[in-house]
A and B are shown apart, each in its own frame.
Chain A
Amino acid sequence: MSESLAMGHYGFYVWTAFAVFFIVLLIDSLAPVARRRRNLRDLRARLVRQENRRRPGTPPSNESHP
């Protein structure tokens, strides 16, 4: 097993190439999931703010405005 993992003298090149492949695709697959969640969260916060503004007298939300 350790012999086949060493890939002859080429272990460094082969395993670095595979690491690059997986790291790049991992970043590529995680980024859009995080982006979609962030978009939904931002939109929810905006809708809540709008709702509070439309009905004055209701207690202000505890989020701080920039």
Chain B
Amino acid sequence: MANWVPLWLHRLSSPQTFYRFAGAVRPWALGLALVLGAVALYGGLFLAPADYQQGDAYRIIFIHVPSAWMSLFIYGVMTVSAFIGLVWRIKLAETVAMESAPIGAAFTLITLVTGSLWGKPMWGTWWTWDARLTSELVLLFIYLGVIGLYHAFEDRRQGARTASFLALIGAVNVPIVHFSVNWWNTLHQGATIRLLGPSHMDSSMIWPLLLMMVATKCYYVASLFARVRADLIAAESGKAWVRDLALGTQERA
């Protein structure tokens, strides 16, 4: 059996090893995100044709939909690592959960603002209390609650555990966001891209969208790893490896 996999995972969950691993992976993830994002947005803005109903306004989809997917995907990652952190008390899992929250909040904010900028010309309103829009706004508030709760405690691990608990409760909202367009009669349109069955979109518009989805995933990895590294320095400041790092590195750090 390949028992090097659990061994490798076990080693990786040590803060020092993960700090180095994250530092090595981050530039590649960021570079990949920038290249893929540039290609995808060029395809979306200039190569894809205008929509026959919405004209060029529909091009907001190329950032709005990937951001919306990320707002839910990151919440999923946060929930799983919060659960692992609560059950097995793995410090790194707590850190990943807590450092995912600001990135998820950023993507949720982008989703709401770009959706608003799309809604004004198409629906004639910046905002409406529609099920999809409202549940996405609730998602933003849950993210902000997790961030606030994490920082409200003097002891960061206690803060992480309390905020992890809130993250688990808030996970109820994720399927509500996803299925809101099916469960309620909403102004927001239903799913365009389908995993099963044909998508309601031409391939010239689909490939930039899917590429943008990959680019935002890479961006998430890069941002998460940068955040975890910053967090580990503060959390492990009493450990020898962080001291060596602080004293050994001069200005370039």
Q: Which residues of A contact B (CB under 8 A)?
A: 4, 7-11, 13-14, 16-18, 20-21, 24-25, 27-29, 31-33, 35-37, 39-41, 43-44, 47
Q: In the complex the two chains form, what is the Cα distance from A43 to B59 in whole Å?
A: 47
7 contacts between A and B (CB under 8 A): A7-B59, A8-B55, A32-B227, A37-B253, A40-B246, A44-B247, A47-B243
Q: Are B110 and A36 in contact (CB under 8 A)?
A: no
**A9: which of B55, B63, B120, B253 is its contact (CB, 8 Å)?**
B55
Within 8 A of A (CB), among B151-167: none
B60: shortest Cβ distance to chain A, in Å? Answer: 5
Q: In the complex the two chains form, what is the Cα distance from A43 to B249 in whole Å?
A: 12
The answer to whether the Cβ of B67 comes within 8 Å of any Cβ in the partner chain is yes
Residues of chain B contacted by A27 (CB below 8 angstroms): 106
Number of residues in B with C-beta < 8 Å to the partner? 42
Q: In the complex the two chains form, what is the Cα distance from A42 to B114 in whole Å?
A: 38
A61: shortest Cβ distance to chain B, in Å? Answer: 14
Q: A20-B117, A21-B110 are in contact. List 20 more A-B contacts (CB 8 A).
A: A4-B45, A8-B56, A11-B56, A13-B57, A14-B59, A14-B117, A17-B60, A17-B64, A20-B114, A24-B106, A29-B219, A31-B102, A32-B226, A32-B227, A35-B230, A36-B253, A40-B249, A40-B253, A43-B243, A47-B243
Nearest 6 A-B pairs (CB), nearest first? A36-B230, A7-B56, A10-B57, A32-B226, A17-B114, A8-B56
Q: In the complex the two chains form, what is the Cα distance from A16 to B119 in whole Å?
A: 13
**A8: which of B50, B245, B247, B253 is its contact (CB, 8 Å)?**
B50
Q: Are A20 and B59 in contact (CB under 8 A)?
A: no
Q: Are A17 and B117 in contact (CB under 8 A)?
A: yes
